[in-house]
A and B are shown apart, each in its own frame.
Chain A
């Protein structure tokens, strides 16, 4: 970490309210860092989807389990970690919500949205025993109008190669 790097970590209850709390917290940091309104929306939505994933799929909505949210700010990017206490999962096993047969599924779009909205996205085995979602967004440089590392990039361009 650089001397300017900052780290923030909170432990959240496995509760619906934690989704809003996590989103609000990360939004405030993103705004303070200088992300544009659009990018803040994308970051907030990604955090929301990550915590929903931990709440519902990871922790199975069990109140005895916790959701661990961590933020790292470096000079280059804002990195968000969402960890659950579930069994973990592999990205390759997540069905593609854009596949014809999955279009009418009522769930399974959260991972896809995070991958589409953030610059980097991965899922690894977390130190809490479950899955750890790691996603990042490039911090806008001085004088940047939009604070978006994907200037002029369409949503489909920003979408991941392997969509889940």
Chain B
């Protein structure tokens, strides 16, 4: 059973990636990396990761989020985060990445922030 599930949907010019499960060393991190890379190669650089159903993330997963953030930024795009669970929120806070990512709790507000 895959550790991570993802579905992509378009809201205006923004691609929202709904994730559920674990972003951790191995399959989860690799799938996230491939998804972001595919979106960038497809010309999509307004990416919103909905982490509302992510119940676990390790240092490898954190690294993948950072990697995606910089990859999108290098294409003059923006990768933002939506709906952090408490565990993910706490991890981003203690690693000081909360100050790096734009984080939203409301999807509409997040989508409008790209305008």
Contact = CB atoms under 8 A, between A and B. Distances in A.
Interface string B64-101: 10110110000000000000000100110111110110
A98 B93 CA distance: 11
Contacts of A104: 66, 69-70, 100
Contact of B93 (A45, A110, A155): A155
Contacts of A103: 96-97, 99-100
Chain B interface bracket (under 10, 10 to 19, 20 to 34, 35 or more)? 20 to 34
Nearest to A114: B59
A112 B87 contact: no
A38 to B, nearest CB: 9
Contact of B94 (A19, A105, A110, A156): A156
Interface string A28-53: 00000000000001000100110010
A106 B64 contact: yes
B3 to A, nearest CB: 9
B102 interface: no
Interface of A: 16, 19, 41, 45, 48-49, 52, 97-98, 103-107, 109-110, 112-113, 116, 155-156, 159
10 contacts: A19-B26, A48-B24, A52-B58, A97-B95, A103-B97, A103-B100, A104-B69, A107-B63, A109-B63, A109-B95
